[in-house]
Copies of this chain bind each other. A is one copy, B any other.
Amino acid sequence: MSKLTDVPKRILIGRALRSDKLGETLLPKRIALPVFASDPLSSVAYAPGEVLIVLSVAGVSAYHFSLWITIAVAILMFTVVASYRQNVHAYPSGGGDYEVATTNLGAKAGLTVASALLVDYVMTVAVSISSGVENLGSAIPFVVQHKVICAVVVIALLTVMNLRGVRESGKLFAIPTYVFVGGVFVMIAWGAFKGLALGDAMRSPTSHLHVKPEHTGLAGFAMLFLLLRAFSSGCAALTGVEAISNGVPAFRKPKSRNAATTLALMGGLAVVMFCGIMALAITTRVRMADNPAVDLLRANGHAVGGGFVVDPVITQVAAAVFGQGTFLFVVLAAATALVLFLAANTAYNGFPLLGSILAQDRYLPRQLHTRGDRLAFSNGIILLAGAAALLVVIYGADSTRLIQLYIVGVFVSFTLSQTGMVRHWNRHLRTERNPAKRRHMIRSRAINAFGAVLTGLVLVVVLATKFTHGAWVAVLGMVIFYGTMTAIRKHYDRIAEELAAPDGPSQDTVKPSRVHSIVLVSKVHRPTLRALGYAKLMRTGTLEALSISVDPAETKALREEWERRNINVPLKILDSPYREITRPIIEYVRSLRAENPRDAISIFIPEYVVGHWYEHLLHNQSALRLKGRLLFMPGVMVTSVPYQLESSELAKRRARRRAEWSAPGSVRRGPVDVRRREPTGTGTSGGGTPGQKG
């Protein structure tokens, strides 16, 4: 099992790191760029196509608007990158949008951002994998003919790998990302050279088709609305830009500066790639349509029909520049698919990490907040994979339809984060007196304010143009996450109130004065002797052994053995004609409590520790059920005295292996949680007297 999955693991992700090696893995910029940029860079594989698809509603004549849309997306990209460079400097702890919004705008804004990000992670998986399958399909037709199945298989593969504790490894992320970026740049350069210098008329595979406009003669407001919708789709290129702001602690020092530089670099690359692909798409006359089977017409006026596969823009352009099926074409298609799958993998890292932060703030079950907890992460991974797979199946792994759901969440968090940053600078400006620093802050505030206004506008545009096209699903998802997390927080708050210790030690509930200890005995064997030994050590009040008589012969043997061994603990035997175990004990304990309400009762249960799951069925079941009942009785504590059977070694090893499991997302989160790394030291405090010890 381990061997089998190791090979694809290492090919795709690289060797898993032990968590104690984590300290050595601070990322240099050349590695940080591919780790954090696979998500935003990979979106140039689908964003250009989405723009053309929306424009095709008004026919090919509208394609010339794509220039303006490209410029608008580039401006937006620069704005967002500039804004997040401020975040990176202001919050070097890697708090991310959730922390920025919570700190500056309050808990509700923070929770909104968190809900948006959770939805966003699901969408990242669904969109990236669907798009990756489409890209792979332009080189391997089988894949695109079985899109949904292939997408679900890839999701399952990523899920299994992440469940088994594979982490991103910076170096192995680098190769496909750099191949992808390099390939796109070579394509743009070679295309420009061929077109401009050689005058070669490159033609994409769809250049001979006509687009049947759904609406002819759109003008005025309708046209504007269409352009805004096209722009909204183009904004898919911006998804994932915020990732670096979560990952500052993973950078080498100076962390903030390096992160900001990487961010700028990423922004520059993304804009060049997006613009270049758009330009080549127009030059090579790529034709796209929302419903290609019907809306793309051949020269004879007939629609191309359902069998015709329209490849993504990036591979159509590659076919025009390099030629369909050439070596460079195949390499680029494969690198594109791989980068898209890596982008999906980032969501597998981000989702449980965000979950652990939310758990710390008690919006999610507390146990999620431990970092290395395999079980906690597993639940997050399975939830993510399940939701993404559901969307992929419902939407037929069609990236165009999934994109409609995608961008809402991203811009909700952009807008709230940038607004929060404006508040942040306002607050700091109230106290800051250094003029140079003040100037710097005012400049930052201006950038963030511009970012907030622009992303806010885009959010309104996205909601307005895409709500009925599917964005409502994303909004619904956010509402569900928000509602669930609010309910969990309310529950924890209510419990915390119930649990709050009253002030002053005397107001506490009546303190027990003595302890009556009871050792449950079924037979005189090693576990019983151990439990008796421990109970004697712990005994401060009375001590007795208790046995339930379900079989007179056994009981007689027990009595005799007890006397023969001269065990100096009184043995109490309760008769149970119906061979019940739990009821007589509960009733006995209840009667003891009634006689001496001020006494606490301590019950020692010898437990066997076994190794196989089926052994659990054969042992300890009565003890477990009894414990379940005893816990409801006030004034009772239950002590398990374990006895390790030989077979328990197995289970011990299994437990240790589970504990050594390393959670996903550690690389991009950085080796230590600097934000929370104030010196706490190790030691003792409190009013303990020396006599307390020893």
Which residues of A are at the interface with B, using a C-beta cutoff of 8 A? 19, 356, 360, 365-367, 369-373, 375, 488, 491-492, 495-496, 498-502, 505, 508-509, 511-512, 514-515, 523-530, 533-534, 537-545, 549-552, 555-556, 559, 562-563, 565-575, 577-583, 586, 600, 602, 604, 607-609, 615, 617-619, 621-622, 625, 627-634, 636-646, 648, 651-652, 655, 659, 672-673, 676-689, 692-694
Given A367-B622, A555-B680, residue A501 in contact with residue B526 (CB < 8 A): yes
Chain B residues within 8 Å of A630, by CB: 642
Question: Among B498, B627, B687, which residue has its beta carbon within 8 angstroms of that of A640?
Answer: B627
Contacts of A566 in B (CB 8 A): 505, 687
A112 to chain B, nearest CB (A): 22
Contact of A370 among B375, B579, B692 (CB under 8 A): B579
Report Cα–Cα, A371/B582, bound state, in Å.
Answer: 11
Chain B residue contacts of A544, Cβ below 8 A: 684, 688, 693
Give the residues in chain B near A639, CB-CB below 8 Å.
602, 637-640
| Given A570-B684, A634-B644: 9 more A-B contacts, CB < 8 Å | A371-B579, A371-B580, A500-B526, A540-B540, A541-B694, A542-B694, A556-B680, A567-B686, A636-B642
Does the CB pair A571–B685 fall under 8 Å?
yes
Q: What are 30 A-B pairs with beta-carbon distances under 8 A?
A: A366-B621, A372-B578, A372-B583, A500-B525, A500-B526, A501-B525, A501-B528, A501-B565, A508-B529, A511-B533, A538-B538, A552-B677, A555-B680, A556-B680, A563-B685, A566-B687, A570-B686, A571-B684, A571-B686, A573-B680, A574-B682, A575-B682, A578-B673, A579-B673, A582-B659, A609-B632, A631-B642, A631-B644, A637-B639, A639-B639
Name the B residues within 8 Å of A689 (CB-CB): 568
Chain B neighbourhood of A550, CB < 8 A: 360, 369-370, 676
Determine which residue in A574, A579, A652 has the highest number of CB atoms from chain B within 10 A of its CB, and name it.
Answer: A579
Closest Cβ neighbor of A604 among chain B residues: B637
Q: Which listed residue, B501, B525, B540, B578, touches A499 by the CB 8 Å rule?
A: B525
Partner of A508, one of B526, B602, B618, B632: B526
Complex Cα gap A581–B573 (Å): 41
- Specify which chain B residues have a CB less than 8 angstroms from the CB of A356 in the assembled complex: 579
Q: Chain B contacts of A372 at CB under 8 A? A: 578, 580, 583
Cβ contacts under 8 Å, A652 to chain B:
632
Complex formed: what's the CA distance from A608 to B491 in Å?
A: 13
Residues of B near A568 (CB, < 8 A) are 686-689, 692
CB of A645 within 8 A of CB of B684, answer no
Chain B: which residue is nearest A572 at the CB level? B684
Find chain B residues with CB under 8 A from A512 CB: 533-534, 537
Of all chain B residues, which has the CB nearest A612?
B491
**How would you classify the secondary structure of chain A's contact residues: helix, strand, loop or mixed?**
mixed
A563 touches B687 (CB 8 A): yes
> Closest chain B residue to A659 by CB distance?
B583
Q: Which residues of B contact A580 (CB under 8 A)?
A: 370-373
**Please, which residues of chain B bring their CB within 8 A of the CB of A542?**
692-694
Which of B545, B618, B640, B646 meets A366, CB within 8 Å? Answer: B618
Neighbouring B residues of A629 by C-beta, 8 Å: 655, 659
Is there contact, CB below 8 Å, between B692 and A569? yes
User: Which residue from chain B places its CB closest to the CB of A671 in the assembled complex?
Assistant: B577
Q: Which residues of B contact A621 (CB under 8 A)?
A: 365-367
B-chain residues with CB within 8 Å of residue A571 when the two chains form the complex: 684-686, 688
Contact with A543, one of B509, B511, B562, B692 (Cβ below 8 angstroms): B692
List the B side residues contacting A360 at CB < 8 Å: 550-551, 579
CA distance A555 to B683 in the complex (A): 12
A370 neighbours in B (Cβ, 8 Å)? 550, 578-582, 622
Residues in B with CB closer than 8 Å to A508 are: 526, 529, 533
Q: Kindly state the separation between the CA atoms of A538 and B158 in the bound complex, as whole angstroms.
A: 51
Inter-chain contact A549/B579, CB cutoff 8 Å: no
Contact A640 B645 (CB under 8 A): no
In the complex, the chain B residue whose C-beta lies closest to that of A505 is: B565
How far in angstroms is the closest Cβ of chain B from A644? 6
Distance in Å: Cβ of A100 to nearest Cβ of chain B? 18
Given A540-B539, A542-B693, A640-B631, do A534 and B366 touch, yes or no (CB 8 Å)?
A: no
Q: How distant is A75 from chain B, measured CB to nearest CB, in Å?
A: 41
Chain B proximity of A665: nearest CB distance (Å):
12
Q: Which of A500, A502, A600, A637 has the most CB of B within 10 A?
A: A637
- Across the interface, which residues of B come within 8 angstroms of A646, CB to CB? 498
A57 vs chain B, min Cβ distance (A): 47
Q: Which 6 A-B pairs have the closest CB atoms?
A: A570-B688, A367-B621, A499-B525, A552-B678, A631-B642, A639-B639
Residues of B within 8 A of A643 (CB): 499
Instruction: Decide if A644 touches B632 in the complex (CB within 8 Å).
Output: yes
